[in-house]
Amino acid sequence: MNTSVKRWVPFAAVPVIAVAAAIAIPLSTNAAQDLPEKTPQELLTLVAESDVRAFSGEFTQTSDLGLPDLSGFGGTSASGGESSIATAIMELATTSHDARVYVDAEQGVRLQVLDRLDERDVIATADDGLWVYDSGEKTAAHVTASGDLPDAPEAPDTDVPTPSSVAEDLLASLDESTTVAVGSTATVAGRSAYELLLTPRDDSSLVGSVVVSIDGETGLPLGIAVTADGDSSPALSVAYTSIDFSTPDADLFTFTPPSGVEVTEKTVPVDGHSDSVSPGDADDSTLPGATTSGTGWTTIVELPAGDASVFEGLDAVTTPVDGGRVLSSALVNVLFTDDGRVLAGAVSLGALEAAAR
């Protein structure tokens, strides 16, 4: 018996080492790297002066909002195959996504959401407007600007949400309601990065902190993690897993819908001020009459009565409260009032109910 145990040792050691390595290696890659110290203001300047014109990268978005995964229900509740806004939001909020992005200031932007055996593509270019392609649904939408553009846009709009653009928008909107600090350094996508720590001053916000990782060399934001108040791990995070600063292949920015794909053409009128088309323009038209109250982190968005139809099929995840139903998650509360209004914000349910009155 004793010799049997001894003979086991070398074979038992290998799995132990392998499991230990599997746990230890991901931890050690987060070890701090040497970067010159910077104040928050210097770091914001670094981002603002970042002159990365072209890059490609792969990123991962994860959500842990404490909502049940409804991907199985989403397809069936949508009427006529047309996904509602609500199911799209729910899909984004409950599952993780891998995506690739290609950016070239001269050419345009391409985002590829890498679904399992499917792919959704968004291609935005200055010449050809915006293409949205879904390989699973076999549909493509082409949004172009109508009328003459007053002057050719300098660079195509980069409103396709990438870790970089989301972080840049966020940093641009910083005001007195936020405490800004520089955290430890981290490794993101194999690069040394600063961590900019944003904390809401207003205690009533559900957001505990937001960490933006900023590439120490180029100033390009590499990732964002949003942690709910009182939580230790991020509820929402998006960060590059790899990034390459060479110019992507020009072919990536041309899109020809493959045969057998249903193409929807959409034209957006251009006024003198707006100089390009973005997905945001298309989305805005579907949510008319939204009003906001409050400022900064405690902003509450209110949709007037009548729009609630797009949120059909959410009964499974909402809980009834006095005067309506509420969808509660780690970062956002959404109140569906009995008279059809929808209020949403990163605030407590009590604040939403107060705003609804």
Residues in contact with another protein by CB under 8 A are 4, 7-8, 10-12, 14-15, 18-19, 22, 58, 64, 68-69, 94-96, 100, 112, 114, 116-119, 121, 133, 135, 140, 241-242, 249, 252, 255-261
Task: For another protein, give the closer residue by CB, 131 or 311.
Answer: 131
* Cβ 14 to another protein shortest distance, Å: 4
Q: How far apart are the first and last CA of the chain?
A: 77
> Which residues 6+ apart lie within 8 Å of 49 measured at CB?
219
**Is 47:74 a contact under the CB 8 Å cutoff?**
no
Residue 159, CA distances (Å) to 44, 278, 281, 344 in order: 20, 6, 10, 23
Q: Smallest gap, in angstroms, from Cβ of residue 15 to another protein?
A: 4
Q: How far is the CB of 7 from another protein (least distance, A)?
A: 5
Q: How far is the CB of 314 from another protein (least distance, A)?
A: 17
Least separation in angstroms between residue 121's CB and another protein is 6
CB 181 within 8 A of CB 166: no
User: How many other CB atoms are found less than 10 A from the CB of residue 6?
Assistant: 8
Question: Which residues contact residue 174 at a Cβ distance below 8 angstroms, ignoring those fewer than 6 apart?
Answer: 44, 180, 198
Output 256 or 285, the one with its CB closest to another protein.
256
3-state secondary structure of 47: helix
Q: Judged by CB, which is closer to another protein: 223, or 345?
A: 223
* Residue with smaller CB distance to another protein, 138 or 201: 138
CB of 26 vs another protein, minimal distance in Å: 9
Please give the Cα distance from 124 to 76 (Å, whole number).
30
Q: Can you name the residues that pair with 211 across neighbouring β-strands?
A: 197, 225
Residue 344 phi/psi, 5° resolution? -140, 145
d(CA 92, CA 174): 25
Pair of tokens at residue 209: 């902190």
Of 8 and 290, nearer to another protein (C-beta) is 8
Q: Which is nearer to another protein, 121 or 202 (CB)?
A: 121
Q: Which is nearer to another protein, 115 or 202 (CB)?
A: 115
Q: Which is nearer to another protein, 255 or 297 (CB)?
A: 255
Tell me how far, at minimum, the Cβ of 262 lies from another protein, in Å: 12
Sheet holding 300-303, edge to edge: 291-293, 300-303, 342-345, 333-337, 324-328, 319-321
**Closest distance to another protein from the beta carbon of 259 (Å):** 8
